[in-house]
Each structure stands twice: as structure tokens, then as C-alpha cells.
Chains A and B, each alone.
Chain A
Amino acid sequence: MDLASVFFWILSIPILVGAICVVFSKNPLFSALFLVLSMVGLGALYFQLGAHFISAVQIAVYAGAVMVLFVMVLMLFDRKAVESEEAAVIKNSQFKWLLVSVFLGLMLGLIFSQSFIAGPDTILPEATSVVSTKELGNLLYFKNILSFEILGLLLLVIAVGVVSLSRIEGGSDD
């Protein structure tokens, strides 16, 4: 048990609890808040994995921007439209749960099967180096500049699209 393990096990608790509550909370607002918890936990885990910049960006972008947006949009809706009884739905979908569990089992089996990736006995050598922001920037702006530019374009398109989408006037079928 080294420090990395301690961090991992401590952080996996809020992450998992958050994720479970996202799915099971009746109130979407709680879902969102638990998702924030999960994301902050993941951010901390990234930090532990040496991805410092990604960790900060995770908190700033996901927790700080995307989820704030979610919460704001939730608040824009009528409270009754958002919070209605969903527990029954969650309970009455045993078949879907079964399917998802089978999926999880198969994937776990894949991960821990010796031939696919290193199993528990053959632990990969742990790379301890921290990826510096400079290194990341070089990768981002030199090697992957095209993808970066395309993403910039995507964001522009999205910005215009979102504005025009949310300006659509409401109304019933006609």
C-alpha cells in the first residue's frame, strides 16, 4: 500500500457514490450536484496520476462551467416538469439492469483476462513523471494543431447553433 493506493481508494469513494447517486437521485438537481462531486473527485485523481493541468481543467470546465450550465438550465424549467416520480421507472426496468450488468461483467472479464491487458499479477511499471503543462502545450499546438483548430471551429459552430436553437419560439403542434 503506497500513497497512490491510499489516494485511489479514498478518492474512489466520492467518485462512485457521486456516480451512483447521479443515476438514482429522484431530483435531477441532486443528480447534478452529485455529478459535480464525482467530477471533482476525478479531478483529484487526475492530479494524483500526474496530469496536473488536466486536473485543473477538469474542475474549471466540467465542474465550473458545464455543470453550472446544467444546474442553471434545470432552474429554468418548471419545477414540476423536472421533478416527477421516477423511482418506479428505475425499479421496473429489471431487464435493462440485467443487460447493463452483463455488459459490466463482460468488460471486467475482458480487463482482467490475462491476454488482453496486464492482469493483477503483471502490474505495468508505474511511470511517476508528471506531465508538465509545457509538454502538453507542445503536443497540443504542434503535433495536434489540426485537431485543435477543428475543435475551435466546432466550438464556433456550436456557439452559433446553440444561440439559434434556444431562440426557437415555443408552441404546440400546428
Chain B
Amino acid sequence: MDLYVIGVVLLPLIGFLINGILWDKNNRIVSGTIASACVAGSFVLSIIIFLSVRAASVGERSFLIHFYDWIHVDALKVPMAFLIDPLSSIMCLLVTGVGLLIHIFSIGYMDEEKRPAKYFAFLNLFIFNMLILVLGSSLLTTFIGWEGVGLCSYLLIGYWFEDSKKADAGLKAFLTNRIGDAGFLVGLFFLYKLFGTLNYQDLNVLALSFNSPESLGLLTAGLLGIFIGVCGKSAQIPLYVWLPDAMAGPTPVSALIHAATMVTAGLFVMIRLSNLIILSPTAMAVIATVGALTALIAAIIGTCQWDIKKILAYSTVSQLGYMVLAAGVGAFGGSLFHVLTHAFFKALMFLGAGSIIHALHHEQDIRKMGGLKKTMPITAITFTIGWIAIIGIPPFAGFFSKDEILWSAWAGEHGHFLLWFMGWAAAGLTAFYMTRLMVLTFWTPSRSEHKAHESSPLMTIPLVCLAVLAIFGGLLGIPEVISHGLGIHIPHFLNEWLDEVAYIHVIHGKVSHEIILMLLSVGIAVFGAIAAFLLYGKHQDTRERIVSKAPKFFELVSEKFYVDELYEKMILKPLRLLSESLWKDVDQKFIDGAVNGSNTSIKKLGQGLAAVQNGFFQNYLLFMIVGLIAILTVFVRYI
């Protein structure tokens, strides 16, 4: 097992090194093949690890693989170790599996690229860091990967750094994440103060026996600190602003990092710490509220965007809000479930968007698309599958996971009607804007300047694979209601699988309630879809009338509620003023003055002392001997 784990982690690193060396010998096929082969090897090893974890008996599925002690200072002992358990093995599978498909897609997508080796090197480095994040046995090891994926995200968003806007987008992502990371670190400090360890296994054990109301405040503070980090990485209010801008990067990157894997890292950490989170009702409430608000607001913004990738980005933010909401209401299994299904269909849709953008010569405005159903049949079919999955039509993947979350929000002990309502409304809006996207892109006549054509097999094969997963991913967690209703007993695989490493609480409510809720969510999805279909299909004039009734509101929405401008005015401007005054008044006058003053005074002292250095080395020796004699005198006197 040890060897497999080392292989899983090191293969992408090797790929990174090889491609890093090939950096200036650019050959798309060669570097792409190397990178894909490394990730493929990693994927195969992940499967082996997953199977061997499965083969272990229940309750003994955690393996700690210790390499060496990374930090050992007094009581703080951080081993460099990997924790293989159901959670990390399934995440490993997700990262390497989706990563592999996107690597292959990239070979086709990056065909006009000037430095593909660099691109693939970064992709491999990302996979490596993500695996460290997922496999780390302690919060600190995870934090290495956490920072590493942040770095890769920055590098890949700003991959086309010749365009200063894209470079700025990378910088924005990086800086926003720094705020989150600061919170994360503070959270770490609190948790360490409270428990004296950062190892997941120890934390879980300690959490089960946690029984001191007086330190609940400390725990809540620590968890909220970590949640700030999660907000940064998983794009929650108020730190979600970087994710839409991150679409400046190559589309496969958006699919891999900003939809499927990296942004779910926050959820991963929350599931890891689920036994702790569940102890603090305050933290739960905050998390759930933030998640629900994010889901709703992002969905609202998504309805008024015209850039295909921006729509998908807001959709991602919204779906991440769902996942956080799930965590907040204690449905950690549902959260991971949605992570998985979302990874499949959102990666699928991003890659589909990539295929479209590639075919239309980097045109991203959906107003200038249309009619692609005929010209790009495979893309259209797979995209449609993704669409059905995301709006939550059974039996596609999205339905099951979304339904589980909504059910928990309604019936769970931490749930609330308002939370459910926000999630439910967001589901409707999701159906609305996704259908709008479908209508404008595929079903209306072409408005494009370019003649589109189907993409190469390198790009369509990953699409097909992901489409299959998007269809059948829901089988991982079929709710009991349905399986009972069908008369067969299919266990909720995911919940059972995670039971020994996370807080899994299956809610048993009234069956009738559950079925009604399911029908309600399917209903609003269908309603949203039909509304969009009509408003953007045949009844465009109706839409314009609606918009003209409340132009201010729609402007507000399409300008994303002016959040960026708000941040600019409220935070950046005062910060800039403060920095300037610090620079001009404090630094230049006070600190520089002190430094220069000490400099000149030492210079003067040196000029005075230089007289002693008269060039006769024997005089220097004289000083030495005088000193020696002084020391010896002390010796003779006292010893």
C-alpha cells in the first residue's frame, strides 16, 4: 500500500518535472502524453488503493502511512504522513479520474498554444498538490496542498499572462484566497490551542469525547476561522468574487480547478472536520446561512450573464453554496455526494463549453452563438445530459444529490424552512439560467460569425465519459424513499462508506413529506426550464417587457450587485490610502530616518576608529594579546 500511495503522489510530480525540463521544447503531443500518462498511472493506483480500502473490513479502513517527522518542536509534532481512508481514497479517485479526462481534453484544446509544456507542467503540479491536500493526515499537511493548489490556480488563471486582464484575474484569485488562508491559519491556531494536535484521527477521537461548554467559544472561533478559509477556496460569500474572474484561464483549467476539484477542497476539509463542526451550533448556523445565501445570490446573478463561462462560473458558485448549505445542516454525506455529482456534470459542461469556444475561435458570448445542435452533435448531446443533471431531473445525478440536501435542510435538526426555501428557489433559478444557456447556444438559429465544426475525438471522448458519469453518478446515493418505493433495497452507498470517518446522520422523516418535497423541487425546475425556454425562444418581447418594467433591478443583477465596486470602495481604497500614508509618513520619515541616522553615526564612529587600523598587523596582534592576557587573568584568578 505504501508504495502505491507514494506512486499516486509522485507520478504527477514526475510529470511536472519532466514537463518542467521540456519547458522550452514545446511539443503539445509529447508533453500532453507525458502529463496524461503520469495522471493515468496515478489514476490506476488510485483505483487499486480504493479497492484495497474497500476490501478492508468496516471500521478498519483507515491506514496511516508515515514517512518522516516534518516538524518536531517541543509538543508540536507534525508528521509527514498520509491518511488513506474512505474519504481520501474516493477524493483521490475523483481528482485523478476527472484530472485524467481533462488532461486528455487539454491535448486537443491547446492545439494553438505556444508553450504547452508549461501548461501541462502546471496541470500536473496541480494534481500533485491536490493529492497532498486530500491525502494529508493532518490539517497542516493539508495546508501545504491547500497553498499549492492556490499557487497552481494562480499560475493557470494567469497562464495567458500577456493579456494584463487575465494576469490581474490570477492576482485577484490569489489575493482573495490569501484572506481566506489567513482565516484558515487562525482557525488552525485556535484548534491547536484547544486540542493540542492537528491530526485528523486524533481530532476525531477528541471530538467524540468533547464535553466542555466553556471551550465551545474557542471551538466555534476556530471553526469559523477555518470556514473563512473555506469561503476563500470554495468561493462563498463574501469571498466568491474571484471565481467568475478566474474564467480568464484556459477552459479545461476552469473545468478541473474551478469546478471539479480545487473549489471543493473547502468542502473536503469541512467533511474531515465534520465531527467537530457538529459540536458548535453557532458555526453550523453561520455555515448553512452563508451556503444558502451564496446559492441563491449566485443563481440570481447567473440569470443575467451573457458570457458562457461566466454563467457556468456563477452556477458553480451556486452549487458550491448548496454543498456548504448541506454541511451547515449536518448532511456531510449529501455534501460529498453533491461534490462528486457536481464534479461530473460541471466538468462535463465546462469541457462542453470549451469545445464550443474552441470551435467558435474563442467566442464566449452566448448572444453570438446558436444553432450548434446540428454542427456539434456530440457536444450538444453531452451538454444536454449535463443540463438535465444540473437542473435536477431524475434519474440523472444532480437530482439525487440536490434532493438529499434540500431534504436535510427541511427535515434535519439543524435545518430551517428558510434555508430550504432559498435552496429551492435557487434550484428554480438554476433551471432557468441553464435552460437559457441551452436555448441560446444550441436551439436557436446561428448568430455566429464563424462556422462551427465538431471537435476532435481527443476532446469528445472525455465528454462522453463524463456524460456517462453524469447520468449514473446518482446511483452512489439513492435515497431510501425511492429504493423502498421501488421495492428493492439499494443501500445508500456513500453514507455507509463515509460512516467511519465523518459525521453521517441519516434523517428519517415522514415519507410523504419527502416525496412532496421531491415533487416540489422537480416542479420548480421544470417551471424554471419552461419559463426560460419560452422567454428566450419564442416570446422574446415578453422578456423585454419584463425587463423594462424594472430596469434598475436587472441592471443591478447584470452588474453582479456591484460587489466588486463595493469592495473597491470599502476595502481597497482605504487600504491604499493607509498604505500611502504609511509609506510617506512612517516609512520615509521615521524608519528611513532612523536607519540613515544609525548609518551616518556608525560611519562617523568608523572614521574615528579607523585611526587604530594603522596597517601594522603586529599592532593588531598587540590588541589580541592584551585581550588574551585579560582572559587568562580571569582564569588564573578564579580557576
Contacts and interface: CB of A to CB of B under 8 A. Distances in A.
Contact of A106 (B618, B622, B626, B632): B632
Given A96-B622, A99-B622, A106 B639 contact: no
Contact of B625 (A103, A109, A110): A103
Mostly, the B contact residues are helix
B581 interface: no
B622 A103 contact: no
Contact of B636 (A96, A99, A109): A109
A154 to B, nearest CB: 24
Interface in B583-639: 618, 622, 625-626, 628-629, 632-633, 635-636, 639
Contacts of A106: 629, 632-633, 635-636
Contacts of A116: 639
B118 to A, nearest CB: 41
Interface in A94-149: 96, 99-100, 102-103, 106-107, 109-110, 113, 115-116
Given A115-B639, A116-B639, A100 B625 contact: yes
Contacts of A110: 632, 635-636, 639
A113 B635 CA distance: 11
Size band of the interface chain A makes with B: 10 to 19
Contact of B632 (A96, A100, A107, A115): A107
26 contacts: A96-B618, A96-B622, A99-B622, A99-B625, A99-B626, A99-B629, A100-B625, A102-B629, A103-B625, A103-B628, A103-B629, A103-B632, A106-B629, A106-B632, A106-B633, A106-B636, A107-B632, A109-B636, A110-B632, A110-B635, A110-B636, A110-B639, A113-B636, A113-B639, A115-B639, A116-B639
A110 B639 CA distance: 9
A113 B636 CA distance: 8
Nearest to A93: B618
B35 to A, nearest CB: 43
Interface string A60-101: 000000000000000000000000000000000000100110
Nearest to A115: B639
Interface of A: 96, 99-100, 102-103, 106-107, 109-110, 113, 115-116
Given A99-B626, A116-B639, 10 more contacts: A96-B618, A96-B622, A99-B629, A100-B625, A103-B628, A103-B632, A106-B632, A106-B635, A110-B632, A110-B636
Contacts of A102: 629
Contacts of B628: 103
Contacts of A107: 632
A107 B238 CA distance: 75
A107 B632 CA distance: 7
Contacts of A109: 636
Interface of B: 618, 622, 625-626, 628-629, 632-633, 635-636, 639
Contacts of B618: 96
A113 B638 CA distance: 11
A27 to B, nearest CB: 20
A96 B628 CA distance: 14
Nearest to A113: B636
B477 to A, nearest CB: 62
A14 to B, nearest CB: 28
Contacts of A103: 625, 628-629, 632
B618 to A, nearest CB: 8
Contacts of A100: 625
A110 B634 CA distance: 11
A115 B636 CA distance: 10
A100 B635 CA distance: 17
A86 B629 CA distance: 27
Contacts of A96: 618, 622
A112 B635 CA distance: 13
Contacts of B622: 96, 99
Nearest to B619: A96
A89 to B, nearest CB: 10
B28 to A, nearest CB: 48
A115 to B, nearest CB: 6
Contacts of B629: 99, 102-103, 106
A102 B633 CA distance: 10
Contacts of B626: 99
A173 to B, nearest CB: 15
Pick from A99, A113, A115 the residue with the most CB of B within 10 Å.
A99
Nearest to B633: A106
B133 to A, nearest CB: 41
A57 B628 CA distance: 32
A51 B101 CA distance: 75
Nearest to A116: B639
A103 B635 CA distance: 12
B127 to A, nearest CB: 42
B638 to A, nearest CB: 10
A107 to B, nearest CB: 7
A43 to B, nearest CB: 29
- 4 smallest CB-CB distances across A and B, nearest first, come from A106-B632, A109-B636, A99-B625, A102-B629
Contacts of B625: 99-100, 103
A69 to B, nearest CB: 22
A116 B626 CA distance: 22
Nearest to A102: B629
A100 B629 CA distance: 9
Nearest to A109: B636
A93 B529 CA distance: 107
A115 B638 CA distance: 10
Contacts of B632: 103, 106-107, 110
A110 B633 CA distance: 10
A103 B631 CA distance: 10
A28 B15 CA distance: 69
A107 B629 CA distance: 9
A109 B639 CA distance: 11
A113 B633 CA distance: 13
Nearest to A95: B622
B594 to A, nearest CB: 41
A116 B639 CA distance: 7
B269 to A, nearest CB: 47
A131 B460 CA distance: 82
B26 to A, nearest CB: 43
A112 to B, nearest CB: 11
A115 B629 CA distance: 19
Contacts of B639: 110, 113, 115-116
Nearest to B628: A103
A174 to B, nearest CB: 20
A110 B625 CA distance: 16
Contacts of A99: 622, 625-626, 629
A99 B618 CA distance: 13
A137 to B, nearest CB: 37
Contacts of B635: 106, 110
Nearest to A100: B625
